[in-house]
Structure 1
């Protein structure tokens, strides 16, 4: 597969009155053409910060992308791009669907004009041409009565329809990469399935690469080609969807999968939850960040950060349990990622 995006040693910090919060602490990954990469983890683990860093949307101050970080897109270093180059990149080459469409859409501007704006900037269309094209794009994302709806405002749309509009704006210029930050949050299950089906259809049609940021493992299992698990600003495990769900090796990955509701659970069975809280990133621990919450914690886990172990060409994990001298631990999950 051809690599479209490469992120190397990405570090992002926020400078606060209390000190430097190390939100992302040196992560590296890549995205291939026409694939879907899912980034999963608890709230605050650095998923959204990573996605914003790719588009240089980290507000400075208080945020800072640290020296030594690299984000290479199609052979170009995004961190060295000029303002003009970034304008062409955002929306034209890489687009983002934000978590809450009601806050990302302009409440005072008609939907058609919001889509047309991107077409005018990136494709050089006239206003009339862009508005006609906006109607076609609304039809593409399956919004009924598209011509009429293009003249309406965001508050006149349901949550699912607003999300479709966000997808329409993101796909207006046929970007090479689509970043979807929790695209189905607050939507019911039926609408979630429709939105994800729509994104998959559009990916198949245009060959778009997708970075999916989510905590919904059911969603990941359905749409992702590869998965990377983030915790405390680090990638603790990465692999194909099959490797993560059927052969995961990190205790945090096990805990995430166990905490997802199971269809075969009894009605009164209590949901599994991960005890404790993530570490304070003002003062990150010297050892494994998951050590204080891990049922398999050893002395080495508290004293030193584990190195990444390559289990296959696609599967890597950072855990002291992979050390040759560590005790052998069997996964607490049954095949398929179910207890």
Structure 2
């Protein structure tokens, strides 16, 4: 499949009173047409900063996308686009579902008007045409009584309904890329499953490529084609969903997988807990950023950045344990052969 997005050496910093926080540190990745790429990692690892950078939504200042960064969409570099070009891009070619729909939706406007806005701006529709299309979009995302709901305000919707409305707004102009930033946060498990099924169904119907940002590996197992694991502003492992779940190679990926509750776990069993805290990105470590928390840390891990090891066509890991001279370390027993 053809690459629709190609990110090269993305570096994003925030300038604070305490110094420069290096939130994203030289990551490179791509997205193909129609596929789903999951970006996973704990809070503060740079997932949301990365996703917002793709649409140039990082406030500058205090944020800064370094000049060495390249964000190529259909061959055009988003990082050097003018404000006018960005306005045409956002909502039309690339759309985003934000983490908290209640703070993302305008409380003073009806849901129908908020969907209509982008249709009027990007597709040149009249107000009547845009409202009719907005009702169709609400119906598409399985909101009952769409013609009535279109004239209601965000506070009249439940959490799950608001998230569906956000999806309708994001997909109104049939974008080529949909970025979903923690789309199931604060929703109960049943609604989470419904929202993820909805995104998958709409992706199949519209052919949209999806970047799914989440800290929950359990969510991505059935929807993602590829997964990239982020830690301390860097991608430390990347592979297909099968490779990440069945053959994880980085100790941090092991930790994420072991912390997910499993059906076969006994009632008195303890969940795995990762010790320590992420590094301070005001002063990033010289070596591997995970070294201080890693159970298999070696001296070289603290002194030098690990090399990228290619394990297969789609599977790469950034870890000294993959070096030919490193001691043999097996995948934890609980993870072998499981998904």
Q: Deviations over 1:142-177 (max 9, x none)?
A: 100000000000000000000000000000000000
1:239 matches 2:239: yes
RMSD: 0.8
Q: Deviations over 1:12-71 (max 9, x none)?
A: 000000000000000000000000000000100000000000000010110000110000
Instruction: Give distance in 1, aligned partners of 2:307 and 2:9.
Output: 14
For 1:1-339, list aligned pairs within 5 A: 1-332=1-332, 333-337=334-338
Instruction: Give distance in 2, aligned partners of 1:268 and 1:323.
Output: 38
What's the TM-score, normalizing by structure 2?
Answer: 0.99
Instruction: Give distance in 1, aligned partners of 2:72 and 2:89.
Output: 12
Instruction: Give distance in 2, aligned partners of 1:82 and 1:14.
Output: 21
Deviates more, 1:326-335 or 1:251-260: 326-335
Instruction: Give distance in 2, aligned partners of 1:51 and 1:63.
Output: 14
**Alpha-carbon distance change, 299 to 330 in structure 1, aligned in 2, over 3 angstroms:** same
Contact 1:257 1:337 in 2 (8 A): no
Instruction: Give distance in 2, aligned partners of 1:272 and 1:145.
Output: 45
SS of residue paired to 1:160:
helix
SS of residue paired to 2:137:
helix
Instruction: Give distance in 1, aligned partners of 2:314 and 2:270.
Output: 34
Instruction: Give distance in 2, aligned partners of 1:55 and 1:109.
Output: 24
Could you tell me how far 1:336 is from its partner in structure 2?
Answer: 3.9
Q: Deviations over 1:290-329 (max 9, x none)?
A: 0000000000000000011111110000000011000011
Instruction: Give distance in 1, aligned partners of 2:130 and 2:144.
Output: 19
Could you tell me how far 1:222 is from its partner in structure 2?
Answer: 1.2
Contact 1:35 1:209 in 2 (8 A): yes
Deviates more, 1:265-274 or 1:129-138: 265-274
Could you tell me how far 1:136 is from its partner in structure 2?
Answer: 0.6
Instruction: Give distance in 1, aligned partners of 2:102 and 2:338.
Output: 35
SS of residue paired to 1:289:
coil
Contact 2:237 2:250 in 1 (8 A): yes
Could you tell me how far 1:337 is from its partner in structure 2?
Answer: 4.2
Contact 2:287 2:300 in 1 (8 A): yes
SS of residue paired to 2:92:
coil
Could you tell me how far 1:80 is from its partner in structure 2?
Answer: 1.5
How many residues are paired up? 338
Instruction: Give distance in 2, aligned partners of 1:141 and 1:189.
Output: 18
SS of residue paired to 2:221:
helix
Instruction: Give distance in 2, aligned partners of 1:82 and 1:331.
Output: 48
Instruction: Give distance in 2, aligned partners of 1:24 and 1:193.
Output: 30
SS of residue paired to 1:222:
coil
Instruction: Give distance in 1, aligned partners of 2:91 and 2:273.
Output: 38
Instruction: Give distance in 2, aligned partners of 1:196 and 1:261.
Output: 19
What's the TM-score, normalizing by structure 1?
Answer: 0.99
Instruction: Give distance in 2, aligned partners of 1:106 and 1:275.
Output: 40
